[in-house]
Amino acid sequence: MGFLLQITFKHPLFLLLLLLLPIAYFLRPRIPTVSISGLRQIGQVPVGFWAKVRPVLWGLRWATIILVILALARPQTVDSHGRTSTEGIDIFLVLDISGSMMAEDFKPNNRLQVAKSVIQDFLKDRQNDRIGMVVFSGQSLTICPLTFDYQMVADTLKSVKTGIIEDGTAIGDAVVNAVNRLRNSEARSKIAILLTDGENNAGQIDPQTAAEAAKALGIRIYTIGMGKEGGARIPYNDPIFGKQYRRIRVHVDEETLRQIADKTGASYFRATDAAKLEAIYREIDQLETTRIETAHFQRYRELSGAFLLPMALGLLLLEMVLSQTKFRKLP
């Protein structure tokens, strides 16, 4: 909770009139003083107190003009009471680590290496969001619960590799795993970002059923299909010849991924190179911008009517009164 007091002008352009005052000052009509100076020179009539202080009348007039200009600019005091709080979103990263993610169609790196690099950059932009991570192939595994410790998430991601879980692509199980981790979240926005290069061919839960569960809990599932069209080369170690390649054809089930996203109110994307994948995560970041709630109360009080105009009127009246007294008479 904070308290701020500031003065602002509703029509600040009127303040430019103040720049004209020096010009007006030098062009002002001069008060005749020849007779007085002449009298002083010949010593016939001494210059009295009231004649000496007569410039006060001009001072009052200039002060009145300045106050009127300030009043035209509409100065206002702003009493501001504010409370700003930030509430992030809960995000589960769901990453495919099946054997096909070793395909090297995102040269010079394979799909998994590129995905990990892009996700690392995505983590750098987080501020108020909790992040968790699920990896999957033939089964799904939660490797990081929801946390604000982005460095821990990044370090855990570095250790991710293919082969730590039996091979396959259990998309439905992975989605349900993330949904189960998000179900008790009190964040206003709960999402999962699913990245895969294949189609559901393992696990116990159908992707459509998993999407229904996410929808029921208000969890959006963004889906990303990764990989170029056609076949891809995957390296393997031959006991005799060392590193060798075999060509496989991996089919990205775009229809299922699109249905999951549509059903949960999210979007489906296709990444065919590293630049496209980076752009996809940036777009998701923009779609799920951190919510900022501000309770802010402001009270404006005009100074023109309450302070400046009465003061200007008072100075004007004072000048008029004084000009009819000894200020206008010779001593």
Q: Which DSSP letter does residue 307 get?
A: I
Burial 12-31 (b: 16+ CB within 10 A, else e): eebeebeeeeeeeeeeeeee
- Asked if 208 and 107 count as a contact pair (C-beta separation under 8 A), the reply is no
Find the angle CA(4)-CA(85)-CA(146) to the nearest 5 degrees. Answer: 160
Taking residue 304's Cβ as centre, other Cβ atoms within 10 Å add up to 20
Please name the residue that has the structure tokens 């109110």: 265
pLDDT in tens, the chain (331 residues): 444 457 777 778 888 888 887 887 777 666 555 454 554 554 455 555 555 556 676 677 778 888 888 878 888 776 655 554 556 899 999 999 999 999 888 888 899 999 999 999 999 988 889 999 999 999 999 999 999 999 999 999 999 999 999 999 999 999 999 999 999 998 889 999 999 999 999 999 999 999 999 999 999 999 999 988 776 777 767 777 777 777 777 789 999 999 999 999 999 999 999 999 999 999 999 888 644 444 445 566 776 666 777 887 887 787 777 777 755 554 4
**Domain ranges in the chain?**
2-80+297-328, 89-289
Pairing of strands 190-196, 140-147: unpaired
Which among 128, 125, 158, 162 has a CA at the least distance from the CA of 144?
158
The reported pLDDT for the residue numbered 86 is: 54
The tokens for 272 are: 């065919």
Find the angle CA(27)-CA(30)-CA(31) to the nearest 5 degrees. Answer: 155
Tell me the CB-side half-sphere exposure of residue 242, using CA atoms within 13 A.
0
The reported pLDDT for the residue numbered 84 is: 47
Taking residue 96's Cβ as centre, other Cβ atoms within 10 Å add up to 24
pTM, two decimal places: 0.62
Which among 115, 91, 119 has a CA at the least distance from the CA of 102?
115
Which among 146, 166, 171, 4 has a CA at the least distance from the CA of 89?
146
The reported pLDDT for the residue numbered 127 is: 85
- Asked if 266 and 191 count as a contact pair (C-beta separation under 8 A), the reply is yes
Which among 99, 117, 92, 157 has a CA at the least distance from the CA of 275?
117
- Asked if 278 and 224 count as a contact pair (C-beta separation under 8 A), the reply is no
Which among 119, 178, 111 has a CA at the least distance from the CA of 143?
178
Burial 43-57 (b: 16+ CB within 10 A, else e): eeeeeeebbeebeeb
Q: How far, CA to CA in Å, does 280 sit from each of 95, 191, 244?
A: 15, 15, 32
- Asked if 122 and 281 count as a contact pair (C-beta separation under 8 A), the reply is yes
Fold for 89-289, please state it.
Answer: Rossmann fold (3.40.50)
Q: How far, CA to CA in Å, does 303 sit from each of 2, 4, 8, 45?
A: 23, 17, 10, 47
Helix (H) or strand (E) holding 18: none
Query: C-alpha dihedral over 192, 198, 199, 202, to 10 degrees?
Result: -90
Helix (H) or strand (E) holding 125: none
- Asked if 111 and 250 count as a contact pair (C-beta separation under 8 A), the reply is no
